[in-house]
Amino acid sequence: MIKLIGLVPLFPLIGFLINGFIGKKLSKGVSGAIGSFSILASFVVSLLIFIELNGSAQKSHVVDLFSWISSGNLQVPFSFLVDPLSALFLLIITGIGFLIHVYSVGYMHEDEGFSRFFTYLNLFVFFMLLLVLGNNYLIMFVGWEGVGLCSYLLIGFWFKNTAYNNAAKKAFVINRIGDLGFLLGIILIFFTFNTISYGEVFKLANTGIAAQGTITAIALLLFIGAMGKSAQIPLYTWLPDAMAGPTPVSALIHAATMVTAGIYMIVRSNIFYSMSDVASETVAVVGAATALFAATIGMVQTDIKKVLAYSTVSQLGLMFLALGAGAYSSAVFHVATHAFFKALLFLGAGSVIHAMGGEQDIRKMGALKKALPVTFFTMAIGTIAISGIPPFSGFFSKDEILAHVYEENKLLWFIGSVTSMLTAFYMFRMFYLTFFGKFRGTHEQEHHLHESPKSMTVPLIVLAILAALGGVMGLPEFWGTHNWIADYLSPLIYRKNPSILSHETEWVLMGLAVAAAAVSIYTAYNVYRKNNILPAAKEEDMGGAERFVYHKYKVDEFYEAVITKPLNLISEAFYKFFDLKIVDGIVNGTGQAVNWFSELIRKLQTGNIGFYILAMVAGIVAILFTSLF
């Protein structure tokens, strides 16, 4: 079965081609079915491969498809790597991908771009699969760019809205900055090790032939790539804006899969980070800072999707904090549980938006519990899971991360813990404002309220079950239970540091975390449920500090003033002087010279045979004369 790994990306590609070329002629039912079932087929194959891999003793299989690029000493075969990490990501991508495709059939039903939506979505899954399956950095890069493209297309899916287009452009441009870092990293890897295939690179790196500085440089360059794709400070600003895309896109691309590509990449390249303390510390600090920073912004947002977006940035920060602390398997564990509950929350939010006729402001919702029972119940599970309440999935992954961070650095642990408290608070704030209290929308909206169709609620229920029970993947060792995911991933972690915490400490940390979450939830309950306090309805009513945070610390404005404006000024100057005068001058001058010259040579083509033969003879004489004498 592992030999058939090529089928996994093939199915979405076929779905993409069918929907892309003849999608417009198909009915919505057929188009949606092609889109969804191609992913289901991939999921089935992935599942079989996952089972086979678990049963076999060999944990890493390279499947060569064809020789792709060969130039000088750069040999890039197009080959796939099936190992525990890629197999797990395959399941997440195709499994959650399938649920979200099904959900989209209901969610996008009224949209005229229905088949186009599934075209992009299938293409996205194809590239995402390439990204995790490739056996070298170049294939990962192809997938990396491909998902970036699809993300751009899907954020700007409703392209008639200029603001949405700008959001798409912003995502694309900011990702480019990260991609440049990634590309430089790949070039440096090739330059250092003369290969870009994972196995060979890691083996060579492990022998220590590269200088410490080079390893650090590679790790940092790759991390810049990760910062872009996984929305870390300073490149995170695109992700909240990316919520312009349809909600299933936010769930699939901007929560569950694409944005975790950076984590995948660093786990894949874990050896560089294990070898470089500087790089690891950078990752940890950036992750912690992003986690805390985004969480504070999430506290005051009033758009339901924006709350979730900042929560995603914050959770991603937490994952990077884990990576920086060397807890690679914990980060992957959190990727998985986060994929479950965040996809669930986004889809639930989509269901709410659907019922509210497109309204996204939580100040105008309230009391939706009755009208949307399934959405309410499943979102409750998602909210509890992300807040870290046992025995829901988020509790286990978050606790494992915090325990590892505590070993490494107490301050970062404290930041992580505060972030978790804030998370519990703003998630329950959103939850209470949406589902409890009084309905605050228009009369018309209230009349229109309805539970979503089956195609939307069934994925919600499945995801809710996963979000509730997903923690069994990694039960803590100190409970005497088996941490499956840590064992599962251990073959590809090059340098492990064993846990040094005593069981008592771990119990205390866990107790603290649960207590902190409980306090947060109680506070949120007090404010938003019991006393029914609403966020300020207008900006003018906010306090100065609150307004500053509400405006996301004015980071966008800061970038605008410090980077965009000066760049525009410089490019304007260059355009007027360098481009118009010098470059155009040279180009036009050359063009004129060529034209003049060609008019001259053209005259040689007289049509007269006698002249042609004369020219030939002259040529022969010249060649004989110069070559022989």
Q: Decide whether 531 or 605 has the Cβ nearer to other proteins.
A: 605
483 Cβ neighbours under 8 A, 6+ residues apart: 400, 474, 475, 476, 477
Q: Decide whether 57 or 609 has the Cβ nearer to other proteins.
A: 609
Q: Is 619 in the site for other proteins (CB under 8 A)?
A: yes
Q: Is 21 in the site for other proteins (CB under 8 A)?
A: no
Q: Is 207 in the site for other proteins (CB under 8 A)?
A: no
Q: Is 25 in the site for other proteins (CB under 8 A)?
A: no
Q: Is 628 in the site for other proteins (CB under 8 A)?
A: yes
Q: Decide whether 127 or 431 has the Cβ nearer to other proteins.
A: 127
Token pair for 168:
């798409």
Q: How far is the CB of 143 from other proteins (least distance, A)?
A: 16
Q: How far is the CB of 626 from other proteins (least distance, A)?
A: 7
Q: Decide whether 54 or 598 has the Cβ nearer to other proteins.
A: 598
Q: Is 507 in the site for other proteins (CB under 8 A)?
A: no
Instruction: From 56-64, 68-76, 345-353, 391-399, give the range in contact with other proteins by CB under 8 A.
Output: 68-76
Q: Is 602 in the site for other proteins (CB under 8 A)?
A: yes
Q: Is 612 in the site for other proteins (CB under 8 A)?
A: yes
Contacting residue, 30, 59, 68, 439, with other proteins by CB under 8 A: 68
Rounded distance between C-alpha atoms, residue 46 and residue 15, angstroms: 17
Q: Is 502 in the site for other proteins (CB under 8 A)?
A: no
**Torsion, Cα of 472, 476, 477, 480 (10° steps):** -70
The 3-state secondary structure of 353-372, one letter per residue: HHHCCCCCEHHHCCCCCCCC
By C-alpha distance, which of 224, 208, 233 is closest to 265? 224
Cα end-to-end span (Å), the chain: 70
Token pair for 388:
């870290």
Q: Is 626 in the site for other proteins (CB under 8 A)?
A: yes
Contacting residue, 22, 562, 570, 624, with other proteins by CB under 8 A: 624
Q: How far is the CB of 609 from other proteins (least distance, A)?
A: 6
Q: Is 73 in the site for other proteins (CB under 8 A)?
A: no
Q: Is 627 in the site for other proteins (CB under 8 A)?
A: yes
Q: How far is the CB of 171 from other proteins (least distance, A)?
A: 25
Q: Decide whether 76 or 372 has the Cβ nearer to other proteins.
A: 76
By C-alpha distance, which of 341, 326, 317 is closest to 494? 326
Instruction: From 211-219, 267-275, 330-338, 617-625, give the range in contact with other proteins by CB under 8 A.
Output: 617-625
Rounded distance between C-alpha atoms, residue 314 and residue 294, angstroms: 5
Quick one: which H or E segment has residue 320? helix 304-324
Contacting residue, 67, 161, 497, 526, with other proteins by CB under 8 A: 67
Q: Is 562 in the site for other proteins (CB under 8 A)?
A: no
- DSSP per residue, 416-440: HHHHHHHHHHHHHHHHHHHHSS---
Q: How far is the CB of 127 from other proteins (least distance, A)?
A: 16
Contacting residue, 27, 58, 70, 564, with other proteins by CB under 8 A: 70
Contact 281, 383 (CB under 8 A): no
Q: How far is the CB of 599 from other proteins (least distance, A)?
A: 6
Instruction: From 213-221, 230-238, 398-406, 606-614, give the range in contact with other proteins by CB under 8 A.
Output: 606-614
Q: How far is the CB of 70 from other proteins (least distance, A)?
A: 6
Instruction: From 247-255, 311-319, 486-494, 618-626, give the range in contact with other proteins by CB under 8 A.
Output: 618-626
Rounded distance between C-alpha atoms, residue 315 and residue 317, angstroms: 5
Rounded distance between C-alpha atoms, residue 302 and residue 306, angstroms: 7
Q: Decide whether 568 or 595 has the Cβ nearer to other proteins.
A: 595
Q: How far is the CB of 594 from other proteins (least distance, A)?
A: 6
Q: How far is the CB of 157 from other proteins (least distance, A)?
A: 24
Q: Decide whether 72 or 480 has the Cβ nearer to other proteins.
A: 72
Instruction: From 142-150, 223-231, 278-286, 611-619, give the range in contact with other proteins by CB under 8 A.
Output: 611-619
Residues 569 to 598: which contact other proteins by CB under 8 A?
591, 594-595, 597-598
The 3-state secondary structure of 578-596, one letter per residue: HHHHHHHHHHHHHHHHHHH
What one-character DSSP code corresponds to residue 526?
I
Q: Is 71 in the site for other proteins (CB under 8 A)?
A: yes
**How buried is residue 63: exposed, middle or buried, by Cβ count under 10 Å (0-12/13-18/19+)?**
middle
Contacting residue, 57, 66, 162, 447, with other proteins by CB under 8 A: 66
Token pair for 521:
């939830």
Q: Decide whether 545 or 628 has the Cβ nearer to other proteins.
A: 628
Q: How far is the CB of 610 from other proteins (least distance, A)?
A: 10
Helix axes 114-133 and 137-155, enclosed angle (nearest 10): 160
Neighbours of 367 (CB within 10 A): 16
Vertex 601 angle, CA 595 and 606, to 5°: 130
Q: Decide whether 512 or 620 has the Cβ nearer to other proteins.
A: 620
Contact 92, 470 (CB under 8 A): no
By C-alpha distance, which of 492, 400, 487, 361 is closest to 86? 492
Vertex 173 angle, CA 349 and 342, to 5°: 20
The 3-state secondary structure of 243-310, one letter per residue: HHCCHHHHHHHHHHCHHHHHHHHHHHCHHHHHHCHHHHHHHHHHHHHHHHHHHHHHHHCCEHHHHHHH
Q: How far is the CB of 615 from other proteins (least distance, A)?
A: 5
Number of residues counted as binding other proteins (CB under 8 A): 31
Instruction: From 18-26, 90-98, 117-125, 608-616, give the range in contact with other proteins by CB under 8 A.
Output: 608-616
Q: Is 22 in the site for other proteins (CB under 8 A)?
A: no
Token pair for 503:
């069981």
Q: Which residues bind other proteins (CB under 8 A)?
A: 66-68, 70-72, 591, 594-595, 597-599, 601-602, 604-605, 607, 609, 611-613, 615-616, 618-620, 623-624, 626-628
